[in-house]
Amino acid sequence: MPEFLDDFLFTYQTLIYALGVNGLLALSMYVVLALGQLSLGQAAFMGLGAYVSALLTVKLGLPFPLVLLAAMLAPALAALCVGAPTLRLSGVYLALATIGLGEVQRIFFINSELTGGALGLSGIPTKGGLISIYGSLALALIAFAFVARSKIGRAMEAMREDELAAGALGVDLPAYKLGALVVSAMLAGLAGALNAHVSSFISPNDYGFDAAVTILSFALLGGIGSPFGPVLGAFILTLLPEVLRPLADYKTVVNGSIIVLAVIFMPRGLLAWRMGRAGAATGRPK
């Protein structure tokens, strides 16, 4: 590799990895929002994936693909526990319950000897890289693009537009909602595991409420009209503070404004464009 390219990759490595990881996180948020639900537990799912994967690598030395699989299954289980009782109720319950999940999990990580307490886990070997991060992102995007064009995608869209009507038309609402939450948790867990294996150090406070809100702002900036929107939103919000350094101090101001403006003025997102599919509105499931 030529030296200048090597230097370039070294200099921007953290940023390049962060773009991919945040893209995955934005997609995980998209799955839930696409059904008109709100989860504030994406950071918690990410943290669970990060901790499970780091422990399996450091303590047991399991092979990386197996570790990634476990990092997806553990948050999936957590999502089932939180989602099953709350998704039968109105949407605010899921939002509040996922906040609760994040807090309980944080207190557990802080108090457990196994997870290194507040000091976190350090010395996680570098196993992830460009291929695993961007490969996962590409796979997830392709899968979502297919789903969005399928019958499931149309059912999801119908639910978002008018839940009652969709239910009346025979869409199995609770199953769809729970399924989406589980898929979302798996994606966030994967993102957490990849991130832990490129940054070598994780600590409980990385996965708090602030992180959850940042992930939400990725998705809302991009809009949930198509899976590409949230990823683009994540890219923009990750790059912005690097390009415009003064903005870095006002990151929370920017994120907050995006959420407010997006909800009030642009419910489809600032960068929304819809999948190239004519007659989307008429494609309701029978």
Partner 1 sequence: MITRRFALAAASLAAMVYAGAAAAQTPVTIGAIEILTGPNNKYGVAIKNGFDLALEEVNKAGGVLGAPLAIAYEDSAGNKDQALNAARQLIGGKKVPLILGPTLSNEMFAVGPIAVERKIPIVGTSTTANGITAIGPYVFRTSLPESDVVPVTLRTAKEKLGVKKVAVMYGNDDAFTKSGYDVMKAAIEKLGLETVTTETFGGKDTDFSAQLTKIKSLNPDAIVVSALVEAGAGILLAKKALGIPDSVRVIGGNGLNSPQVPLVAREAADGTLVGSPWFIDKPDAANQKFVADYKAKYNMDPDQFAAQAYDTLFIVAQAIKDAGAPNAEKIRDALGKVKHNGVMGPFSFTPDRDPADTSGVVVIEMKGGKFQILK
Partner 2 sequence: MFAQQLVNGLVVGSTYALFALGFTLMFGVLGVINLTYGFYLSVGAFLALFATQHGVSIWLALPLAALASGCVAVLIDGLLLTPLRRAKAPELASLMVTLGATLLLYSLANAALSTDIRRFPPGVIDANALEIAGIRITMTQCLIIAAAGIIVSVLLWVMNGARIGLGLRALAERPDAAALMGVNAGALVRLVSLASGTLAGASGVLIGLNYNAIQPYMGEVMMLKGFAVIILGGLGDIRGALVAGLVVGMLETLTAGYVASSWKDAVGFVLLVLTLWIRPSGLFGRLAVKRA
Residues that bind partner 2 (CB under 8 A): 36-38, 40, 82, 85-86, 89-93, 95-97, 99-101, 103-104, 107-108, 110-111, 163, 209, 213, 216-217, 220, 250, 252-253, 255-260, 262-264, 267
For 248, other C-beta atoms within 10 Å of its C-beta total 12
Task: Report the site for partner 1 in 4-63 (rule: CB under 8 A).
Answer: 7-8, 10-15, 18
- Residue 85 or 125: the one with the smaller Cβ distance to partner 1 is 125
120 lines the binding site for partner 1 (CB under 8 A): yes
Q: At its nearest, how many Å lie between partner 2 and the CB of residue 213?
A: 6
- Residue 135 or 256: the one with the smaller Cβ distance to partner 2 is 256
- Residue 37 or 136: the one with the smaller Cβ distance to partner 2 is 37
Separation CA 195–CA 168 (nearest Å): 42
From partner 2, partner 1, none, interface partner of 13 (C-beta below 5 to 8 A by class)? partner 1
- Residue 124 or 221: the one with the smaller Cβ distance to partner 2 is 221
Task: Report the site for partner 1 in 192-211 (rule: CB under 8 A).
Answer: 199-201, 203-205
- Residue 8 or 146: the one with the smaller Cβ distance to partner 1 is 8
Q: Which of 91, 117, 179, 285 binds partner 1 (CB under 8 A)?
A: 117
From partner 1, partner 2, none, interface partner of 204 (C-beta below 5 to 8 A by class)? partner 1
Residues lying near partner 1 in the complex (CB under 8 A) = 7-8, 10-15, 18, 106, 110-111, 117-120, 122, 199-201, 203-205, 241-243, 245-246, 248-249
